[in-house]
A and B are shown apart, each in its own frame.
Chain A
């Protein structure tokens, strides 16, 4: 199996082939909830920004990442408010407590399930048993976390944003002279919505494009809006 990093690389390579910037799968197009405000627990977003060097390596940038994390959370809050939902922020419990262990297991399970969705729904051939279905689940244990926060759903967000360094721009221009396309910065990510009563993954969206900038509030808001296109709430 590919690790998370490997999957992301696969996605970057599939970027050129993919027609659209964002694609999503869902169990239900729209979630029923009457007049009630939905409480969505935002799991700690996994955001990382970096710069593509001339030679094509990615240098992680802590300063940009810290800025982007704030912008992403603010943009998510805004997007959910527009959908009559409230964002509840997740806080990791103290390490090594029984509570922490339960939470960790759920997060790790989501990582594993999410990786499978990414791999089999977006990149490589679908699993024979899931070809025409979207019925992934984390199981009813997810209820424990939902109960604790009084939340109906959990939202997982993963974003990687890279920017082209001046050196890389020079390489891209020179390579273009030779008729070779060299990739620069890219924005990739995914988000998933989990029902905290059943553990079912309700919606899963993937973003992959060569534009976007999480370092400024307005561009970050645009990225989050694009990622949440077709959000079922």
Chain B
């Protein structure tokens, strides 16, 4: 998420983005001994061993005079802006598909949830207290089947069903209230430094609470997905894949544990694995929904991969493409984007690494694989042409450009390419 400068904005955004915060430690309650969801029951925070039940009933709206209504109002306004967002994904089939999964997970709460898909190339989804769920396309690129997508959607629903935003707001309010009186007391007692220490502790406790909420949502999401037959083990797999991508990141900029709002990914993945085993003992759920996912989400993958490469975080993207290739679906397309990655990175061979080659050679090798496998877009010939041109092989370049224009005669860059095909001089 983008970082905002000012604390007031930060608080608003942080709450709006369906972040989180309540419930004294949810401990080790296993999924197996939890009953089914009991809509309409109001649960006063789930302690260890206490089953997680929704904190609001279907169709529930807050009374106008409450703090909750205030946040609903703020998010209703944000929602009206979302509806006209330039990067809103309008593809009907895709929207229907994601909303359909949400509906099956949400059961009687389905009419309370609105899903907005936004074209943003990072892995994220968020849940607002008024039922607005936002899913970014960078997430659709990384979930590998319907069950993994359901795992995230179920997690977000967990935030809604447990009214995490409201609890976090109340928590932030009482924390900051206590803090300011402590600061004044400390200052009156002549200890100005104590105030700063307290402020640090308070910040820590706000994020710690939010991690508890994330854990709670993880459990809730896992149960929701298992109840309607999705293989709960897919949830941990998704997190493992994200960890792999994170570890491949040469910049290591993305991990900052203290302020990260989610539990440490390794811990999360381990917990999810354990909870999945428990859930499987209770009821065998094995559906992964591979085929539907392939038919509806994967046709958009080229678009998402283009967005991904524009971020120029090549080490991450390289690992991501490697993982996607493990599934082997539309390998030609994936090899093409591997080629694009190397072409855009344009690194020289690492002399210390045995057998390492220049990126342009890696790119050409990847393009060759792509052509072999089939399914790469026509631009592959343009990309090859550009590499040949750069390395002085004009004849080869022109042949590649000609092939590109033959395959896409209406290309936007038709004139540019034609001009590049004129012999120099």
Contact = CB atoms under 8 A, between A and B. Distances in A.
Interface residues of A, number: 33
B11 A55 contact: no
Given A53-B173, A60-B73, A95 B83 contact: yes
A177 B6 CA distance: 27
B251 interface: no
Contacts of B13: 5
Interface stretch (A61-69, A142-150, A209-217, A218-226): A61-69
Contact of B173 (A5, A59, A66): A59
A101 B177 contact: no
Interface stretch (B181-189, B276-284, B366-374): B181-189
Interface string A31-56: 00000000000000000101001111
Contacts of A140: none
A60 B70 contact: yes
B173 A62 contact: no
A119 to B, nearest CB: 14
Most buried by A among B74, B83, B180, B188: B180
A58 B8 contact: yes
A125 interface: no
Contact of B12 (A5, A61, A95, A96): A5
Given A63-B65, A65-B73, A95-B83, A167 B188 contact: no
Given A3-B9, A60-B70, A178 B188 contact: yes
A104 B184 CA distance: 47
Nearest to A92: B80
A9 interface: yes
A174 interface: yes
Contacts of B175: 55
Nearest to A167: B177
A109 interface: no
B179 A55 contact: yes
A100 interface: yes
A57 B70 contact: no
Q: Please classify how large the interface on chain B is, using the bins under 10, 10 to 19, 20 to 34, 35 or more.
A: 20 to 34
Given A6-B5, A62-B70, A57 B83 contact: no
B76 to A, nearest CB: 9
Interface in A160-210: 167, 171, 174-175, 177-178
Nearest to B74: A60
A9 B6 contact: yes
Contact of A66 (B64, B169, B180, B188): B64
Given A167-B177, A171-B184, A175-B184, A57 B172 contact: yes
Contacts of A60: 70-71, 73-74
Nearest to A60: B70
B205 to A, nearest CB: 13
Contacts of B188: 174, 177-178
Contact of B177 (A3, A54, A95): A54
A178 B64 contact: no
A51 to B, nearest CB: 9
A65 B72 CA distance: 12
Contacts of A167: 177
B73 A57 contact: no
B306 interface: no
Contact of B4 (A6, A48, A61, A95): A6
A141 to B, nearest CB: 16
Interface in B153-194: 169, 172-173, 175-181, 184, 187-188
Contact of B70 (A2, A8, A59): A59
Contacts of A53: 173, 176-177
B254 interface: no
Contacts of B248: none
A56 B176 contact: yes
Contacts of A171: 180-181, 184
B67 A56 contact: no
B64 A5 contact: no
Contact of A54 (B8, B67, B72, B180): B180
B139 interface: no
A5 B70 CA distance: 17
In the A-B complex, the 6 residue pairs with the smallest Cβ-Cβ separation, listed nearest first, are: A55-B176, A60-B70, A62-B69, A5-B9, A62-B73, A54-B177
Interface of B: 4-6, 8-9, 11-13, 64-65, 67, 69-74, 83-84, 169, 172-173, 175-181, 184, 187-188
17 contacts: A5-B12, A8-B8, A9-B6, A55-B177, A57-B176, A58-B8, A59-B169, A60-B74, A62-B65, A63-B64, A66-B64, A95-B83, A104-B84, A167-B177, A171-B184, A177-B188, A178-B187
Given A55-B175, A62-B70, 15 more contacts: A3-B9, A5-B6, A5-B12, A9-B6, A54-B176, A55-B177, A57-B11, A60-B71, A60-B74, A63-B69, A95-B83, A95-B84, A174-B184, A174-B188, A178-B188
